[in-house]
Chain A
Amino acid sequence: MDFATIIQILDSTVRLATPLLLACLAGLFSERSGIFDIGLEGKMLIAAFASGAAAAVSGSVWIGLLAGIGASLVFAAIHGLASITFRGNQLISGVAINFLASGLTVLLGQKWFGLGGRTPSLEGAARFEPITLPFARALADLPAIGPVYYELISGHSILVYVAAVAVPVSAWLLYRTRFGLRLRAVGENPAAVDTAGISVTGIRYAAVAITGLLCGLAGAYLACGLSAGFGREMTAGKGFIALAALIFAKWRPWHALLACLLFGLLEAISIRYQNIDLGFVLIPVQFTQALPYLLTVVILAGFVGKAIPPRAGGDPYVKER
C-alpha cells in the first residue's frame, strides 16, 4: 500500500463519514437534552428526498438545502410534539418517524416524478460542487503536504466543511455556553432546571430543532453531494450507524468525530479492498463487508467501557403538582 493509496482511502473516508457525523451530532443534541431519537434515519431520509426534489425542480442546490432542512425540521417538530408536549414514548415516536419517511418519500416521489421513488438526476448548479481551497493547486506538487492538502483536505463539497466546523461549534455550545449547561442539565435532572425557573420544554424543543437542522444537512449532503438525486431508502441505515457511533462516543462531540471517522474508514476499506490476499490466506469479500458491523459489536462490547446515557433520557418531564 503506497502513500497515494492511503490518501485515496482517507479521502473516501471523509466523504463517507460526513453524513454519519452530521447525524451523530444531531442525535447528540437531542439525547443530551433527554429526548432519545431513533428517528435520525427517517429525518435524514425525508431531508434527502426534499432536497433532491427541490433541487431538481428549482435547479438550485441552495433551495434544495433549505427544503431539506425544512422537511427535517417538520419531522423533528412531530417528534418533539409527541415526546415533549404529549409525553409519548420517544422510541415509538422515533420508529413512527422512520416508517413515515420511508413510505412518504417513495409515495410522493412516484406521484411527482414517476420514476419509482427516485428524483430526476441533478446536474450543474443543482448539486454541491467540490470546493478547491485556496493555494491547493499551488501546493499540490509539494511532497507529502501537497497531496494531503490537495487531495484530502481540499476538493470536498461545502457540507463536508460545515460538518467539520460543526464539531468544535457543538463542543463550545455544549460546554462553554449557558444554553449548553442548561441543555445538559435538562438531560440529567430536569426537575433541578425547572426549579431554577428555566423552561424544560423550551430547552428540549430547542435541542430537537438543532437535531432537525443537522439531520437536514446530512440528508441534503446525501442527495445533492454524494449522489446526484434521491433514491429509495438511500440512507441505508446510516442513521442507526450514527446512533452506534453516538454511544461509542459516549455522547461527546470530539469523540463523535473520531467514532464517525472510524466507521467511515472501515467502510472505505471494505470498498477499496474487497478481497484481501495475505499470501497464505484469502480474506473473502463477505468478511470485509461485515467488518464495520463486527467492529461495532466488538467496540461497543469491550472497548468503550460503560456508556452511560443522560440520566433523564427517554423520560418525559412531568412538573410536580
Chain B
Amino acid sequence: MTLMKTLLGAAATLALSSAMATAEPAIIYDMGGKFDKSFNEAAYNGAERWAKETGGTYKELEITAEAQREQALRRLAESGANPIVTTGFAQSDPIAAVAPDYPDTKFVTIDGWVEAPNVLTVAFTEHEGSYLVGMLAAMASKTGTVGFIGGMDIPLIRKFGCGYAQGVKAVNPDATVILNMTGTTSAAWNDPTRGAEIAKAQKSQGADVIFAAAGGTGMGVLQAAADEGILSIGVDSNQNHLHPGQVLTSMLKRVDVAVYNAFKEGADLQPGIVTLDLKAEGVGYALDENNAALITPEMKAAVDAAAERIKSGELQVHDYMSDDSCPAGQF
C-alpha cells in the first residue's frame, strides 16, 4: 500500500513537472480565419516565426462561432497552455470571464481591452498608420475622391477610418472620403462578395483609391478594385503582392511582432498594457517591389516627413476611440 502510494505520488509529480516543462503557448484566431491574408494571418506568421526559431510547438484554435470563444479559452487553459494569445476585440469579454479562474495562466489580447492581473493587452496606434496611407491615397487619387471599407462596424475599425480620413484631408482638404462598413456582425470579417460590391459602389461614386480594413472581406475589395482598374490599400499584413501594381500600399499592423514577443516571453510574460505605435514600428506602411512604381519619391518623402512629426509628437492624429467622434469624416 505504502509502495503504491509512493509510486502514485512519484508518477503524479512526474506528470506535473513534465506538464510544467512543456507548457506550450497557444493562439486563438478570430472569425476572419487563420489564412485571411490580413490580421489573423499576421498573427499566424508571428507564431510560425517563433516556432521556427525556437523549434517549439504551439497550440492553435480558430473561432468559427461566437459560442466557442469562452469554451476555447477554457479548454486551452485546462490543457496547460501558457500564455494564451487571442486576436480580435471580441475575445475581451470571454477573457475577462475566464482569466480569474486560471490565475497562473497568462492571457494576451490583441485589439481587446481587459484589465486583470494575468492579462496583457496589446494595442496598436492604427490611426497613425492609417493617417500615413490616407496621405498616400490622397496623393495617388486623380478624382479627389477616395474610399474606405471597414469590416464590422466597431470603434476599432472607425479608428482606422478616422485616421485615414485625416491623412487624406491633410494632403487635400477638398477631398471626399467615402466611409463604408461591411456589416454589423462578425460575419462582416469574411464576406468578400459584399466587399467587392461595396468597392464597385464606391468606384461609381468616383473613388479611385480604396482602403480596406476588413479582414477576409478585404480580399474581395482588392479583387474588385483590380478588376475595375483602380487602386486599393491592404491592411494588417503586407498585401501588395496580391495584385502587383494595383495595390497602392498596405497599412501594416505588426500583429506578428506582438504574437512573437508574447510567445518568446512565454509564461514569464509581463501582464499590463503595451501600445505598439509608429515609433515602436508597431504600425506603418508597406513599400516593396510590387508597389515601387506607384509610390513616387515625392509621395514617400511627404509621408516619411509626416511619420517623423508623428513620432516626435509634433503631429497628433485624432484617435476615434478617445472620444467616439471623428473630425474628418462622417460614418
Could you list which residues of chain A lie within 8 angstroms of chain B, going by C-beta atoms?
A: 4-5, 8, 12, 15-16, 114-118, 121, 222, 226-228, 231-234, 236, 268, 271-272, 274-275, 285-286, 289
A285 touches B184 (CB 8 A): yes
Least CB distance, B239 to chain A, in whole angstroms: 12
Q: Mark B229-252, 1 if CB is under 8 A from A, else 0.
A: 000000000000010000000000
CB contacts (< 8 Å) of B331 on chain A: these are 275, 285
Chain B interface residue count, CB cutoff 8 Å, equals 29
Query: Which of A116, A121, A222, A286 lies in contact with B242, CB distance below 8 A?
Result: A121
A231 touches B242 (CB 8 A): no
Least CB distance, A130 to chain B, in whole angstroms: 9
Least CB distance, A94 to chain B, in whole angstroms: 21
Bound CA span A151–B170, Å: 35
CB contacts (< 8 Å) of A226 on chain B: these are 193, 196-197
Task: Show 27 A/B contacts (Cβ-Cβ < 8 Å), sorted by A.
Answer: A12-B201, A15-B197, A115-B35, A116-B35, A117-B33, A121-B223, A121-B242, A226-B193, A227-B193, A231-B219, A231-B220, A232-B33, A232-B190, A232-B216, A234-B192, A236-B193, A268-B201, A271-B197, A271-B201, A272-B201, A275-B330, A275-B331, A285-B153, A285-B181, A285-B184, A286-B153, A286-B184
B220 touches A227 (CB 8 A): yes
Bound CA span A114–B183, Å: 27
Name the residue on A nearest B223 (C-beta): A228
A274 touches B34 (CB 8 A): no
Q: Mark B128-163, 1 if CB is under 8 A from A, else 0.
A: 000000000000000000000000010000000000
Q: Knowing A121-B223, A285-B153 touch, does A222 contact B184 (C-beta < 8 A)? A: no
Name the residue on B nearest A238 (C-beta): B193
The A-contacting residues of B in range 201-233, CB under 8 angstroms, are: 201, 204, 216, 219-220, 223, 227
CB contacts (< 8 Å) of A274 on chain B: these are 180-181
Q: Is B319's CB within 8 Å of the partner chain A?
A: no
A236 touches B187 (CB 8 A): yes
Name the residue on A nearest B178 (C-beta): A274
Least CB distance, B223 to chain A, in whole angstroms: 5
CB contacts (< 8 Å) of B242 on chain A: these are 121
Name the residue on A nearest B217 (C-beta): A231
Bound CA span A12–B194, Å: 11
CB contacts (< 8 Å) of A116 on chain B: these are 33-36
Q: Is B200's CB within 8 Å of the partner chain A?
A: yes
Q: Is B198's CB within 8 Å of the partner chain A?
A: yes
B190 touches A231 (CB 8 A): yes
Bound CA span A116–B36, Å: 8
Bound CA span A5–B35, Å: 36
Q: Is B191's CB within 8 Å of the partner chain A?
A: yes
Bound CA span A117–B194, Å: 18
Could you list which residues of chain B lie within 8 angstroms of chain A, going by C-beta atoms?
A: 33-36, 153, 180-181, 183-184, 187, 190-194, 196-198, 200-201, 204, 216, 219-220, 223, 227, 242, 330-331
Least CB distance, B212 to chain A, in whole angstroms: 14
Bound CA span A227–B197, Å: 10
Bound CA span A121–B330, Å: 34
Bound CA span A232–B190, Å: 8
State the 9 A-B residue pairs at the shortest beta-carbon distance, nearest first.
A116-B35, A8-B204, A116-B33, A272-B201, A228-B223, A115-B35, A231-B192, A116-B34, A274-B180
A227 touches B196 (CB 8 A): yes
Given A15-B197, A274-B180, list of 18 further CB < 8 A pairs?
A8-B201, A16-B197, A114-B35, A115-B35, A117-B35, A121-B242, A227-B193, A227-B196, A228-B223, A228-B227, A231-B220, A236-B187, A236-B193, A268-B201, A271-B194, A271-B201, A285-B153, A285-B331
CB contacts (< 8 Å) of A12 on chain B: these are 197, 200-201
CB contacts (< 8 Å) of B153 on chain A: these are 285-286
Bound CA span A289–B187, Å: 13
Bound CA span A228–B224, Å: 9
CB contacts (< 8 Å) of B198 on chain A: these are 271
CB contacts (< 8 Å) of A285 on chain B: these are 153, 181, 184, 331
Bound CA span A272–B197, Å: 9
B190 touches A233 (CB 8 A): yes
Bound CA span A228–B196, Å: 10
CB contacts (< 8 Å) of B184 on chain A: these are 285-286, 289
CB contacts (< 8 Å) of B194 on chain A: these are 236, 271
A289 touches B34 (CB 8 A): no
Least CB distance, A134 to chain B, in whole angstroms: 23
CB contacts (< 8 Å) of A16 on chain B: these are 197
Bound CA span A234–B191, Å: 7
Name the residue on A nearest B216 (C-beta): A231
Bound CA span A268–B197, Å: 8
CB contacts (< 8 Å) of B216 on chain A: these are 231-232
CB contacts (< 8 Å) of A121 on chain B: these are 219, 223, 242
